[in-house]
Structure 1
């Protein structure tokens, strides 16, 4: 294309009267040339339309969708998994039927792997899914009463747990499957404590229970035992200790299918956990919550809320609730 200066030199030989028109045409031509160059520069292959570039997948990229971002770097220690409250909660009054279980943020124990740690997050020394080794001895249970303070009973398939595994009455009410080396087995309920010289792992069985495994003359046999969550048609009952009032009280749960991990009373500020004694009562030293709603939690994290229990010392008051079988 001729340069503007060259085009002006050609116009100088023409009639002066046509000069203004020629100048106007030349200016228009230059403007069009500049516009064309700008359009060429702004074509997609020149990188001008970022929206098109962003919408079009990069060379070699799969068209199925975006790639998931890489995980952020960690310190090497796994981050804790968010876990719901625990567990389903059942609300009931003493006497009426229990309400349906309500879900919680946390997965229920049944939905988690059946490992000792996950199956019973509130368990102490005795955990489900674990087989314990020890020895069995026997004793005369008398009227069936023992350190767990359940009182006299006709149930003779019971046992006393060694002090270490008794764990300040945490073992009270637990059902245990006991096996002898020869293959015989018996299920017993823990109602008593076996002090020293009973060693960890040792069970002092009622004579009737021991006789299911070996002759009483054997005196002492090797055993294995594990926690059970048995079938039962019974429900939980509540009993206030002798001397209980609205100023001080002791509360006991009876007939629970699974070992009890916690007993709480409702207060103005929410739920308050009571301290468990070695004789299997939960104490409210200042009378907090005495005569009010009670919440029970088993070793699996399931909770039962019971209302309408009167503050009547020594009265066994039944409910219509029970922990789930595991």
Structure 2
């Protein structure tokens, strides 16, 4: 097993974008609008110990996080990987290391659950579903079902009509994007129970995502910043995840500006429609309050997301630390 897997493992890098897109192009026959099929999403899992399994047919991201003296390994794979056995082999391989505390496989198929039933399954967690919206409905927000959304957008426009600007996320405005993220971080700690939340591990991800939108011509004008009185307060971007669907990421610096988040989604929908897209997947909520907010808008589809957790076998003297040094 080791000889089969190790030669195909390496650290994930910026130069892997072309490989990823060649295998999981949104124009592929399998047109499932999964949030994790975007490069920006996978950037979220990038770290110095993030690996990839690549064999010219499959590209699987493997995130390794150190928890005290143990490792937690997560395998993040797009829905459209056809060979289930590859994921099973990778799981079996990492279970071999004694210092792997647990493994998880995100966004699994039902047949995968059956395939790995002989492994040491710890538990299965259903996450909040991914919300997919009709972009034209989101943009028009007409009718009684969109009344709350429309009310907040109109409130924002009326209050800040001569004070707000929508600008493109590019290298010239890069620092403004970081200003939004910094303000969000402080607000996040105040609004939630994450008082000791460590922002530093996220910096690498934000760097990569912002650089991607600032430097890549393929996503030019697909990232925006909203300013009020020349101060940046909101950041949003999107990328293609299927033939007619985008994945949207948003970040708000302040929750005291009523209607800002709705106006940000409206502005992104307008740009996405101009690019010819029809639907938007805004991902799954991480908290109940976020789930309730997303459900105030009328979703076209809710995609259930589950994560399967497994125990590491812990029956070997081999160490994942040693493997990472060898790669």
Give the TM-score of the pair, scaled to structure 2. 0.21
Larger C-alpha radius of gyration, 1 or 2? 1
Instruction: Considering fraction of residues, name the structure with more helix.
Output: 2
Structure 1 length-normalised TM = 0.21
